[in-house]
């Protein structure tokens, strides 16, 4: 439960601490949904593939750039957050 509360708090602090990244993230989500909507409107049968690639693309990019193995370990995340300030 502590981990869930910590990551929920991190999500709330993220929008204020890094507004440029926050807006870029939401812009990307809107772009993927708009692209999917357009593909669906022109009867392109692979609109589900667009959503899948849109969701997995950033994850693959993060892994290729060195996503830490302990990214979901809340104790390591707390230490990382405290040392970054």
Predicted pLDDT at 34: 93
Residue of 6, 4, 1, 11 whose CA lies nearest to 79? 6
- Res 33: pLDDT: 92
Q: Does the structure show a pLDDT above 80 at 71?
A: no
Higher pLDDT, 73 or 52: 52
Could you give the CA distance from residue 17 to residue 22 in angstroms, rounded to a whole number?
9
| pTM, rounded to two decimals | 0.68
Output the six-digit token pair for 36: 């999917």
Summarize the confidence of residues 45-55 as an average pLDDT. Answer: 87
List all residues 6 or more positions away from 78 whose beta carbon is below 8 Å from its beta carbon: 6
d(CA 71, CA 64): 14
Q: Is the pLDDT of residue 85 over 70?
A: no
The pLDDT assigned to 24 comes to: 92
């Amino acid at each position: 439960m502590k981990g869930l509360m910590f990551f929920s708090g991190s999500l709330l602090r993220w929008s204020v601490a890094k507004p440029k990244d926050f807006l870029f993230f939401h812009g990307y989500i809107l772009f993927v949904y708009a692209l999917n909507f357009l593909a669906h409107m022109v009867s392109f049968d692979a609109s589900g593939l667009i959503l899948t690639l849109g969701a997995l693309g950033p994850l693959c990019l993060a892994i290729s750039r060195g996503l830490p193995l302990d990214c979901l370990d809340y104790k390591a995340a707390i230490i990382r957050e405290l040392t970054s300030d």
